[in-house]
Amino acid sequence: MADYLLEIFVEDIPPAHLRTGLRQLEEKFKDALDKNRIDYEEVLIKGTKKRFSVIIKDIAPTQKEEETTIIGPSKQIAFDEEGNPTQAALGFVKSKGKTIDDLSFLETPRGEYIAIKEIEKGKESKALIKEFVPDILSSLSFPKNMKWNNTETLFTRPVRAIVSLMDNETVEFEFAGITASNKTKGHPILSDVTDIEIASPDDYESKLKENRVILDRKERKKIILDGIKEIEEKYELEIVENEELLEELTDMVEYPFVFSGTFGYDYLKIPNEIIETFLKQEKRLFLMKNGESIINRFIGIADADEEASDNIVEGFERVVKATLEDASFFWNNDLKLDFEELVEQLKTYSFGEKLGTYYEKTLRLIDLSEFISNFVSPDKTKAVARAARYSKIDQLTEMVKEFPSLQGIMGGLYLKEKGESEEVWKAVYQQYKPVNIEDSIPESMTGKILSLVDRMDTLTGAFIVGMESSGDKDPFGLRRVGNTIIKIIIEGDIDIELPLLISKSLELYIVEKDKKQKIQADIIDFLVQRFRHYCSEYKGIEYDILNAVLNTDFINVLLSYNKTKALKKAKYNENFKKLIISYKRVKNIIKDNKIDELNTEMLEDPEEKELWEIFEAVQGEVEQHIKNKNYMRAQESLIVLRPFIDKYFDSVLVMAKDESIKNNRISMLNRISSLFEMIADYSEIVI
Amino acid sequence: MTVQDIILTLTNYWKEKGCYVAPTYDVEVGAGTMSPHTVFRVLGEKPYRVVYVQPSRRPTDGRYGENPNRVQKHFQLQVILKPAPEDGQKLYIESLEALGINLKENFLSFEEDNWQSPTLGAWGVGWQVMLNGLEVTQFTYFQQAGGVELSPVSLEITYGIERLALFLAKKDDIYELNWSDDVTYNDLRKNEEIQFSEYNFKEANIEHLKTMFKMYESEISNLIGKKLYLPAYDLALKLSHIFNLLDARRALSITQRQERILSIRNYVKEIARIYLEELENG
C-alpha cells in the first residue's frame, strides 16, 4: 500500500483560517475517498501558518471494483419447459457481450429473473486524486477569501506551491495556476534551502524539520508549554493563563521559541485588566503573576531561533513600554472626563436605526431595572438604577473606542476610580456577563439585574424593528441574547413573570398599541425556544420533560425550570414511574374532553368514592406545595393517589352507558388531572 | 542607519525592481494609500510599479512632542506592484535585508490585518508585518478600490519609516532618531509637533472648519458636475483632513461625524465612477 501526501504552501494563514481549512480538508478527503471507493487506513491532517497538509496512510492503488447487476427477462420467458434458453435469453446475453454461462438468477417480488453481473474495473487512485483534489481545494470556504493572480481563484491567502506525492511519484494537477510537484519550502527565514525536494510522504516531516519547520501541532505546543514552564520556574512566577491565545500562537509559528521580558514597575498602576488587554490584543503576550497579583513580566512566543533571543527580548520590551505608555495616556485622559457630561453626550450616540440613542436606552434601563428590582430585590433598587445610569458612558471613552472588548469593564473601572460603591461599579463592570451560555453570570443581584435588563431591552428593540432571527440565520446574535436572558434568570434565581417583564420593556419603547400584543407573543415564543435550548443543550434535560412542562404554561422561567428538575427526578424513580403510568390512563380516557360538572352525590362505586376522598385529602397539600414553589414535595404528595387510580380503572367503567354517569366520571378525572397539570402534563413523559 | 539612508535604500531597492520614483503628493493625506499615485492607479488593467514617500497626517495622534512614539505627522514609504508578483513576500524580505537587518537574529512575523477604507470604497487582504513585536509595515493585496473589483490585483507595501528607524537604531524615542548624521528628528520635527498639537487640539477654529467643510463640499459638487475628477479628488482629501481636525477638536457628535463620513464617501465614490468611465472610454 502507498501513502499520499498533499501540501498546499500558502502565504501566512490566519490561525482561524488554518483551523477551519484543516477541518474541511479532513472531512472532504474522507468523503471523496469513500465516494470514489478508495480504501485507506487513515487521513492525517497537519498544518502550520504556511501550509495545509494532508497525508493519506495506506491508500489503495486502485479503487474498488464495482459490481453492477443488469436484469433481463423473467426466468419463465428466458427458458423453455425443457430448461433450454429461449431467444429472449440469448438476445439478452448477446447484447451484453456475454454467454449463457455468465447468467445468474435474481429473486424479485415479481418472481425469478435472469441477470448478468458486470464488474467494473477500478480506476487508478492517482487518476482519481488528480480529479478530486482540485475540486476539494476550490470548495474550501474561509471567513474571508481573496484573489491574487489572473486565475481569479478564491482562497484564504495566495497559494505559492503544491506538493502532491503518491509514494515517490508526483501526482500532477493544477490549482490556482500552480502545477503540483514534489517541491516545497522550509522556514522562510531560518531555512537556507530555496526548494526542498520531498522524496516520499515518509520523508516529508523530517525534511521539514531539517528546514526548521515543526509540522506536528502537538509537538509545537509541547515546546511552547515546556518553554513557559522553564520561565515560570526560573522566576518563581506563574503565567496568567489564556488558552485562546495559546492555541492561536501555536498556529502562528513554525519553529517556536518562548521568551520573557519585563516592563517598568510604574505601569502596574494601570488597572490589570487594561494592561492585560493591551498586551494580549496588541502584542499577543502573556502576563505573569505572583499569587493573585500581576507582576511586571511578560511571556511571548516567537517564530525564531534561540540565537535571536537577545534582540527579541530587547525589542519586545521597547514595544511593551510604548504600548503601556498609550494605555496610560488613554486611562488618564478618560479619567478627566466628567461622567454627567458623558451621560448627556449619549444623546448623540445612536443605539441603532429606529431604536433611538444610547441616552434613551439608558433611561429605559433605569426604568426597567427599578421595575424588576422592586419585584425581586427591593433593597437594591437604588443601586441598580445608578448602575444603569452610568452603564453605557464608557462607549464614549477613547479606551473603549480603541478596545471594544473593554466595554463594561472600563465603565466599571472608571466608576471605581471615582469612588463609586462596589455594588454599583461591579454591576457596570460585569454587565456584559455572561458573554455566552458557558460564561458565568454577574456575581451580585445588582449586576444580574443590570445584565438582564440590558439584554431584555435589546431583544425587545430588535423585535419591534423586526430584526428577529429565522431559520439558521441569526445576523444580530439575538439567540445568544435570548440564551443568556434564560441563563441569568435561572442561575440568578430571578423570580419574575415573563409577560410582566416583556410588557414593561415594551411600554418603555414607543410602540403602536395594536402591535404590542403580537410582539409580546413573538418574544415569548422566541424565549420558549431559547429555554428549550438552554435546558436540553446545557442542562441535559430531555425533550419529553420539556414538553411536559411547556404543555401547561411558560410564564415564569425560573419556575418552569424548577419543574423540569422535579420531573427529571420523577422520570427515573420507580414509584413516580408507576404514578406516571397511572396518570397516562387518566389522560387517555379524558382526552380533550374538558367537561367539568362534577356532582359528588352521583359517585356510586366504592372505588370511585374512595379515589375522590383520597384526592380531596391530598389536594390542599399539593396546592400548598405548589404555592411554595416546591414541586418535589408536591409530586411526592401526589404519589398517594397511585394505587387508588389503578384500583379505580380496574373496577370502574368510565364510559358508562348512562351519559350522565359517564360525564360525571370524566368530570372527576378532569379535576384530578388539573391538579397534576398545575405542575406539568405528566402524560408527555416517555417511560 | 539614518532615516534618510532608510528612505534612500528602500527607494533604490524598489527602483531596481522596476518602480518609478514618484514625487510626494502635495495635499494632506491620512495615509499613503490615499494619494492619487495609489488610489487611481490600482484601477484598470495597465501594469504599474511605483515607490514614493508620503507624509501622513493624523491630527488626533498629536501628543505635543511629549510621547516618544506618537506623532500627528509621520512618514510612509509606499510601494505599489501591479499586478501583484508571485514573489512579493520574498521581495519584501529582501528589502529588509537591504537595510542590513539580519532576520535570523530577529523575529519577523506576518499577522492577519485586513485593510478597508469605506471612504475610498476600498479593501484589501493582508498582514501587519512585525519585527520583534513592532509593526513596521502593512502588506496588502488590494481587492477593491472605488467600489470596483480590481483585476489585476495590486500588492501594496507600506513601510512606517520612523518605526523601521526605531527598530534599526534600537531606540524607543522617535525624537532621538538621526535624520542625517548631524540632524536629529528632534531638530526637524519637535517644534512642528508642539505647534501642530496646539493647533489641532486647541486653536483650530471650529466654526471656520465647519464653514470650510461646506465650502469644499460645494467646490467638489461643481467639479464633479464638470467631470474634473482630479481637482475634485484633491478637494475631497482636503475635506477629509478638515474632518480629522474637527475630530481632534471633539467638535462633532457621533451623528454629525457619521453624516460627514458619509458625505466624503459619496464624493469619492462619484469621483471613482467618473475616473472609471474615462478609463473605459480610453
User: Which ipTM did the prediction report?
Assistant: 0.94
Say how many C-beta atoms besides its own lie within 10 A of residue A69's C-beta.
Answer: 11
pLDDT recorded at residue A468: 67
| Subunit contact B106:A315, Cβ cutoff 8 A | yes
A564-587: per-residue pLDDT in tens?
Answer: 999 998 888 888 888 899 899 898
pLDDT recorded at residue B201: 93
Our CA-based measurement puts residue A325 at a distance from the nearest CA of chain B, in whole angstroms, of 8
Share of chain A above pLDDT 90, in %: 67
Nearest to A16 by CA among A222, A250, A216: A250
pLDDT recorded at residue A108: 83
CA nearest to B110 within chain A: A12
Q: Among residues 156-175 of chain B, which lie with CB inside 8 Å of chain A? A: 166-167, 170, 172
Q: How far apart are CA B194 and CA B64, in angstroms?
A: 4
pLDDT recorded at residue A470: 63
| CB-nearest partner of A283 from B86, B106, B133 | B133
The values of phi and psi at residue A294, to 5°, are -65, 140
| Subunit contact B170:A14, Cβ cutoff 8 A | no
| CB-nearest partner of A144 from B89, B107, B114 | B114
**Chain A residues inside the 8 Å CB shell of B134:** 315, 318-319
Size of interface A-B (CB pairs under 8 A): 112
| CB-nearest partner of A303 from B63, B107, B151 | B107
C-alpha A588: how far from chain center = 39
| CB-nearest partner of A315 from B89, B132, B258 | B132
| Subunit contact A307:B132, Cβ cutoff 8 A | no
Q: Among residues 129-158 of chain B, which lie with CB inside 8 Å of chain A? A: 131-134, 141, 143, 151-153
| CB-nearest partner of A311 from B68, B106, B110 | B106
| Subunit contact A146:B125, Cβ cutoff 8 A | yes
| Subunit contact A316:B132, Cβ cutoff 8 A | yes
> Is residue A177 less than 8 Å (CB to CB) from chain B?
no
Q: How far apart are CA A579 and CA A641, in angstroms?
A: 8
A524 — pLDDT class (breaks 50, 70, 90): very high
Residue with the larger pLDDT of the pair B133 and A654: B133
**Chain B residues inside the 8 Å CB shell of A311:** 105-107, 132
Decide: A231 and A260 in contact? Cβ < 8 Å.
yes
Q: Residues A503-519, buried b or exposed e (16+ Cβ, 10 A)?
A: bbbbebbeeeeeebeeb
pLDDT recorded at residue A471: 60
Q: Which secondary structure element, helix H or strand E, spans residue A116, and what is its range?
A: strand A111-120
How deeply is A364 buried, as exposed, middle or buried, from its count of CB atoms within 10 A (0-12, 13-18, 19+)?
buried
DSSP states of A522-587 as a string? Answer: HHHHHHHHHHHHIIIIIH---HHHHHHHHTT--S-HHHHHHHHHHHHHHHT-HHHHHHHHHHHHHH
**Chain B residues inside the 8 Å CB shell of A285:** 133
Q: How far apart are CA B38 and CA B195, in angstroms?
A: 30
Q: How far apart are CA B164 and CA B180, in angstroms?
A: 15
Q: How far apart are CA A65 and CA A38, in angstroms?
A: 10
B46-101: per-residue pLDDT in tens?
Answer: 999 999 999 999 999 998 998 888 899 999 999 999 999 999 999 999 999 999 99
| CB-nearest partner of B143 from A146, A315, A322 | A146
> Is residue A146 less than 8 Å (CB to CB) from chain B?
yes
Decide: A279 and A298 in contact? Cβ < 8 Å.
yes
Q: Residues A628-661, buried b or exposed e (16+ Cβ, 10 A)?
A: eeebebbbbbbbebbebbbbbbeebebeeeeeeb
Residues contacting residue A210 through CB under 8 Å, at least 6 positions apart: A186
pLDDT recorded at residue A292: 87
A112-127: per-residue pLDDT in tens?
Answer: 888 888 888 889 999 9
A144-201: per-residue pLDDT in tens?
Answer: 999 999 999 999 999 999 999 999 999 999 999 999 999 999 999 999 988 999 999 9
Helix (H, G, I), strand (E, B) or coil at A200: coil
Q: Does B28 have pLDDT greater than 90? A: yes
Average pLDDT over all residues of chain A: 92
| Subunit contact B254:A350, Cβ cutoff 8 A | yes
| Subunit contact A348:B107, Cβ cutoff 8 A | no
pLDDT recorded at residue B19: 98
| Subunit contact B172:A152, Cβ cutoff 8 A | no
| Subunit contact A307:B105, Cβ cutoff 8 A | yes
Decide: A490 and A558 in contact? Cβ < 8 Å.
yes
| Subunit contact B127:A12, Cβ cutoff 8 A | yes
> Is residue A147 less than 8 Å (CB to CB) from chain B?
yes
Mean pLDDT of A292-298: 93
Q: Which secondary structure element, helix H or strand E, spans residue A153, and what is its range?
A: none
> Is residue A245 less than 8 Å (CB to CB) from chain B?
no
Q: How far apart are CA A101 and CA A519, in angstroms?
A: 75
Least trusted range by pLDDT, from A79-83, A493-497, B239-243, B265-269: A79-83
Residue count (chain B) = 282
Helix (H, G, I), strand (E, B) or coil at B138: strand
How deeply is B100 buried, as exposed, middle or buried, from its count of CB atoms within 10 A (0-12, 13-18, 19+)?
exposed
Q: Does B136 have pLDDT greater than 90? A: yes
| CB-nearest partner of B105 from A303, A308, A329 | A308
Q: Which secondary structure element, helix H or strand E, spans residue A367, and what is its range?
A: helix A358-376
Q: Which three cell numbers stand for residue A80?
A: 423453455
Q: How far apart are CA A247 and CA A424, in angstroms?
A: 35
> Is residue B261 less than 8 Å (CB to CB) from chain A?
no
Our CA-based measurement puts residue A426 at a distance from the nearest CA of chain B, in whole angstroms, of 28
CB-side neighbour CA atoms (13 Å) of B243: 22
Q: Does A252 have pLDDT greater than 80? A: yes
Mean pLDDT of A215-225: 97
A327-340: per-residue pLDDT in tens?
Answer: 998 899 898 988 88
> Is residue B111 less than 8 Å (CB to CB) from chain A?
yes
pLDDT recorded at residue A687: 81
Q: How far apart are CA A465 and CA A95, in angstroms?
A: 69
Q: Residues A469-491, buried b or exposed e (16+ Cβ, 10 A)?
A: beeeeeeeebbbbbbbbbbbbbe
CA nearest to B88 within chain A: A11
Mean pLDDT of A626-647: 91
pLDDT recorded at residue B254: 66
Share of chain B above pLDDT 90, in %: 82
| Subunit contact A316:B133, Cβ cutoff 8 A | yes
Q: Which three cell numbers stand for residue A619?
A: 389536594
DSSP A378: G
Q: Determine the residue type at B237.
A: L
CA nearest to A284 within chain B: B133
C-alpha A485: how far from chain center = 16
| Subunit contact B172:A321, Cβ cutoff 8 A | yes
| CB-nearest partner of B67 from A311, A325, A345 | A325
Q: Which three cell numbers stand for residue A569?
A: 427526578
pLDDT recorded at residue A598: 84
Positive/negative CA dihedral, B249, B254, B258, B260: negative
**Chain B residues inside the 8 Å CB shell of A325:** 67-69
pLDDT recorded at residue A472: 63
Least trusted range by pLDDT, from A144-153, A381-390, A452-461, B142-151: B142-151
B199 — pLDDT class (breaks 50, 70, 90): very high
Helix (H, G, I), strand (E, B) or coil at B63: coil
Residue with cell 497626517: B57
> Is residue B114 less than 8 Å (CB to CB) from chain A?
yes
pLDDT recorded at residue B251: 84
Nearest to A524 by CA among A493, A559, A485: A485
> Is residue A149 less than 8 Å (CB to CB) from chain B?
yes
Strand-by-strand arrangement of the A111-120 sheet: A66-74, A111-120, A103-108
**Chain A residues inside the 8 Å CB shell of B104:** 189-190, 304-305, 307-308
Q: How far apart are CA A248 and CA A235, in angstroms?
A: 25
| Subunit contact B255:A350, Cβ cutoff 8 A | yes
Least trusted range by pLDDT, from A109-113, A229-233, B101-105: A109-113
| Subunit contact B93:A320, Cβ cutoff 8 A | no
Residues contacting residue B186 through CB under 8 Å, at least 6 positions apart: B175, B176
Share of chain A above pLDDT 70, in %: 99
Decide: B177 and B165 in contact? Cβ < 8 Å.
yes
When scoring B89, B110, B127, B131 by the number of chain A Cβ atoms within 10 A, the one with the most, hence best to mutate, is: B110
Q: How far apart are CA A669 and CA A674, in angstroms?
A: 9
**Chain B residues inside the 8 Å CB shell of A326:** 70
| Subunit contact B166:A350, Cβ cutoff 8 A | no
Residues contacting residue A239 through CB under 8 Å, at least 6 positions apart: A228, A231, A232, A286, A287, A288, A289, A299
The packing angle between helices A498-507 and A445-464, to 10°, is 60
Our CA-based measurement puts residue B87 at a distance from the nearest CA of chain A, in whole angstroms, of 9
| CB-nearest partner of B107 from A149, A308, A345 | A308
> Is residue A283 less than 8 Å (CB to CB) from chain B?
yes
Mean pLDDT of A347-359: 81
Q: How far apart are CA A633 and CA A622, in angstroms?
A: 8
